[in-house]
A and B are shown apart, each in its own frame.
Chain A
Amino acid sequence: MTVTDLTPDRAPGRAPEGAGTARLKVTGARVLRSEWAKFWSLRSSWITLGVAVFLLILFGTVAGYTYSPDADPMGPPRPGGAGADAVSLALTGVTFASLAVGVLGVLLSAGEYSTGMIRSTLAAVPRRLPVLWSKAVVIGPVVLLLATAGALAAFQLGAPGLDGEKIALSLGDDGVLRSLAGAGVYLALVAVFGVALGVLLRSSAGAIAVLVGILLVLPGLASLLPDSWYETLSPYFPGNAGSSLYALQESSGALSPGAGLAVFAGWVAVTLAGAAFRLRGTDV
């Protein structure tokens, strides 16, 4: 076998002039292009994204049809509960979807460490940080679009089930679109959170455990705190701040949607900063 196709007309010992093409150079846009290609070239991305959207739509739709205003309080628990409104019912699936998109984020980043791909990635992009930003920039908008569409679909599909009920709402009603879009933003941030945790912990299992712990277990554990502390602190927990981001009605003690967004985005930003620090400073 010959290797004559390797630019044979080159002066010995000198770097080739652009491998016969435009000058090669690593740029932010190119790293982004690479991460985009990496994201879509894995079957697990499609599956996890599909699962997230499916859960979002399925639970939201089913919740609309199974809602009953005078459900027996001793009977099987129904989604929504006493303070249910049409939006909270439609967004019943957000918790499950958040796990799916969180895992998606973790797989995108920690998956590179568990497979060894990270060595190829960082050898190609030795400045390293563009890889982290690009992963976040790829997964955030993708999840934002699909999750918002999923939340809208869940609301619309569940609406016929609420027809005639007191709590029925339409898309045009105050705050409905904002809440549904808020769910999309929340899920997008969870996905970025997953990316950051994956780079920070470099282990899929570890990052998923921490993700679940922070979003789902921490709020429950916090109830062990003294009451006065609990009331002050709990709205600022990532999971709680996140859920106020897509709540239609501000429940007492919770943050406003805007504040919830700021707080949850803050948590994600801090985690990203930690991930950047670890990515930049440690051997792989």
Chain B
Amino acid sequence: MIEVRELTKRYGDKTVVDHLSFTAEPGEVTGFLGPNGAGKSTTMRMIVGLDAPTGGSATVGGKAYAEHAAPLQEIGTLLEAKSVHPGRSARGHLMALAHTHGIPRRRVDEVIELAGLTSVAGRRVGAFSLGMGQRLGIAAALLGDPAIVMLDEPVNGLDPEGVLWVRTLLRELADDGRAVMLSSHLMSETAMIADHLVIIGRGRLLADTTVDDFTREAGGGGVKVRTPDVLRLRSLLSGPDVSITSSSPGELLVTGREAREIGTIAAEHGVVLHELTPQAVSLEAAFMDLTRDAVEYRSAPAGTERKAA
């Protein structure tokens, strides 16, 4: 379990992490989200003691990271993928880390195989692609068979097969009872992996929720209906919490009723439907709405106003 309490980091008068509190529980995948520059990486570095907090605390399994006798067994971390000497082979890198804890060579071979690096384990890391570097970082994170796995942008640079691999791996790790935390700036990607969401912007907590709740709240996008009998359907569907708009002839946008309901009503009254499409507001759009005021590097308004259909 990772517990972050009132964690604060200031560089001069710039506050990068601002009284941040959250918990990453065992058995769950916690998605740690925020726009670029929100303070995600700084928070993760403080959790593993690379950066010292200006205030507050971060504990791993109930203790400060540095107090663990075998930190790699407590929490495995992928920070930036390039936290590796490019002149060393993948196996050499993992062995160097393994030696510090007395982790046997057999375990090194295990994680190499697990990460799909067996064929390149003897090659210098400098020649690795971004995706292979990422796999090596994940292998290093799993080296100590840790109770907690914390990965910063793990799918960065991975090909679709690699993304799927990470998703499956993290799910299995969480199902195995481990606490899994991953950071991302992509909501849609994270929603597919995570159970729990911690969303930050400008170092502050914006939301601490579950993917299900977030999706439900974001899901108010209505249902698009196409029918030749617009007026009739409109009157059939109207109700106290229902709003119906029309953007083009023969087309209605209904909010407040689910697609299934609309289809049933239409069928009962013999209204012909040509299309019935739930309009989920994309999670990405909901995420952008949430973090709008906290975006560090804002592009031109056209970019931030863009909403997915």
Chain A interface residues toward B at CB < 8 A: 1-3, 5-8, 10-16, 18-27, 30-31, 33-34, 37-38, 41-44, 111-112, 115-127, 283-284
The segment from B68-76, B198-206, B296-304 that touches chain A is B68-76
Q: List 8 A-B contacts (CB under 8 A).
A: A3-B114, A34-B96, A34-B98, A41-B88, A41-B95, A42-B85, A126-B49, A283-B52
Given known pairs A119-B50, A124-B72, A126-B66, the reply for A41 and B92 (CB within 8 Å) is: yes
Q: Which of chain B's residues 48-105 have a Cβ closer than 8 Å to chain A? A: 48-52, 61, 65-66, 68-74, 77, 79-80, 82-89, 92-93, 95-104
Give B80's nearest chain A residue, CB to CB: A116
Separation in Å of the A6 CB from the closest CB of chain B? 6
Cross-chain contact A111 with B27 (CB below 8 angstroms): no
Question: Is there a chain A Cβ closer than 8 Å to B288's Cβ?
Answer: no
Given known pairs A33-B99, A119-B79, A120-B140, the reply for A15 and B147 (CB within 8 Å) is: yes
Cross-chain contact A16 with B147 (CB below 8 angstroms): yes
**Bound CA–CA A59/B66 (angstroms):** 48
Cβ 8 A contact of A19, one of B1, B48, B103, B169? B103
CB-CB under 8 A from B159, the residues of chain A are none
Give B99's nearest chain A residue, CB to CB: A34
Question: Is there a chain A Cβ closer than 8 Å to B29's Cβ?
Answer: no
Cβ 8 A contact of B70, one of A1, A25, A43? A25
**Bound CA–CA A41/B89 (angstroms):** 8
Given known pairs A19-B107, A26-B71, the reply for A3 and B96 (CB within 8 Å) is: no
Question: Is there a chain A Cβ closer than 8 Å to B289's Cβ?
Answer: no
**Bound CA–CA A5/B106 (angstroms):** 12
CB-CB under 8 A from A34, the residues of chain B are 96-100
Cross-chain contact B82 with A116 (CB below 8 angstroms): yes
Cross-chain contact B88 with A38 (CB below 8 angstroms): yes
Given known pairs A12-B27, A38-B96, A126-B66, the reply for A30 and B177 (CB within 8 Å) is: no
CB-CB under 8 A from B107, the residues of chain A are 19, 21
Given known pairs A2-B172, A120-B84, A123-B79, the reply for A24 and B103 (CB within 8 Å) is: yes
CB-CB under 8 A from B116, the residues of chain A are 1
Given known pairs A34-B100, A125-B100, the reply for A26 and B69 (CB within 8 Å) is: yes
Secondary structure at chain A's binding surface: helix, strand, loop or mixed? loop
**Bound CA–CA A42/B95 (angstroms):** 13
Top 4 nearest A-B pairs by Cβ distance? Answer: A12-B177, A13-B26, A34-B99, A126-B66
Q: Which of chain B's residues 94-137 have a Cβ closer than 8 Å to chain A? A: 95-104, 107, 110, 114, 116
Separation in Å of the A42 CB from the closest CB of chain B? 5
CB-CB under 8 A from A10, the residues of chain B are 176-177
Give A15's nearest chain B residue, CB to CB: B147
B: interface residue count bin:
35 or more
0/1 string, B157-174, CB within 8 A of A gives 1: 000000001001100110
Given known pairs A1-B169, A43-B87, the reply for A123 and B71 (CB within 8 Å) is: yes
Separation in Å of the A88 CB from the closest CB of chain B? 37
Separation in Å of the A138 CB from the closest CB of chain B? 12
Cβ 8 A contact of A283, one of B45, B89, B92, B144? B45
Give A14's nearest chain B residue, CB to CB: B147
Question: Is there a chain A Cβ closer than 8 Å to B142's Cβ?
Answer: yes
**Bound CA–CA A2/B165 (angstroms):** 9
**Bound CA–CA A8/B99 (angstroms):** 24
Separation in Å of the B113 CB from the closest CB of chain A? 8
CB-CB under 8 A from A1, the residues of chain B are 114, 116, 165, 168-169
**Bound CA–CA A23/B104 (angstroms):** 11
Cβ 8 A contact of B144, one of A24, A31, A127? A24
Separation in Å of the B86 CB from the closest CB of chain A? 6
CB-CB under 8 A from A127, the residues of chain B are 66
**Bound CA–CA A71/B75 (angstroms):** 69
Cross-chain contact B99 with A25 (CB below 8 angstroms): no
Cross-chain contact A5 with B65 (CB below 8 angstroms): no
Question: Is there a chain A Cβ closer than 8 Å to B196's Cβ?
Answer: no
CB-CB under 8 A from B87, the residues of chain A are 42-44, 115
Give A130's nearest chain B residue, CB to CB: B100
**Bound CA–CA A236/B107 (angstroms):** 51
